[in-house]
Amino acid sequence: MVRSTVIDIIKEDNNFQYVEVIKRNRNKRHKHGEFFVEGVRNINEAIRNNWEISSFIYSRERDLSSWATDILNNVKVDSLYQMTDELMDKLSGKEDTSELLAIVKMKPDNMERIKLSENPLIVVIDRPSNRGNLGTLIRSSDSLGVDGLIMTGHSVDLYDPETIVSSVGAFFSLPVLRLPSHNELYEWVQEQKKEGVAFLIIGTSAQADYPVNKCDFTKPTILLLGNETVGLSRNYKEIADAMVEIPIDGVASSLNVSCAASIVLYEIKRQRYL
């Protein structure tokens, strides 16, 4: 059994306020390098993928399941916060309050976290503005063979609780990094070419060179996705080797970015498994 400092919380004291502000405040999250995690699958995946957990939060007024008890007994953390049901209800984002919450340490935005496969596939999302879409994109990327996901530009917070929940655990298994702009990505691509990995950079647009099924995705690929409202930036279009579109019918002129990404990623997987 691991030993952690147990902190009893019966009112909204400094310890409670710290957890609460980590959950809701982007600036505070990044200042402290920690983020809020809720959900059985998310906590399981964080543990399985060796993310450093600084604390667990649970109720002092209820019996815990064998799952929660096993985690508290065997996962080393700095502190355990036990609090009242009322305070747990205030922290939880679910209608049925979770029995276990966690504060997890952020990982560095280091490209070395992305371990390239034999035929690598990288997804880049430029200035994502919707937390749910970002979480869904992480989930799709993890499911469809992506080596890593890169965010660039001013965007929603990668570590927002809604993003984490929407990823359904995939957040902790897929390397997701933040880079300031296309410049840092392009420099990395050039370094990879020197090492023998010649990436094709393929952009997506509602109006493009040719349909997605006519593009050859069998080589190492970087797939560029644009902002939900304004699409891909001019800088990304200029570094792209080709632009592809998804032919659609109906009233809508374009697809939700996470839906579009799933379609393109499936086409890439289909081509590579022919």
Domains of the chain plus CATH, in order, are: 5-105 (3.30.1330.30), 111-272 (3.40.1280.10)
Strands (E), the chain: 5-9, 34-38, 53-59, 79-83, 101-105, 121-126, 148-152, 176-179, 200-204, 210-211, 221-225, 242-245
Could you report the per-residue pLDDT of 95-147, keeping only the tens digit for each?
888 999 999 999 999 999 999 999 999 999 999 999 999 999 999 999 999 99
Q: What is the pTM of this model?
A: 0.92
Helix (H) or strand (E) holding 187: helix 182-194
For 158-213, what is each residue's pLDDT tens digit? 999 999 999 999 999 999 999 999 999 999 999 999 999 999 999 988 777 789 99
Question: What does the DSSP 8-state code read for residue 204?
Answer: E
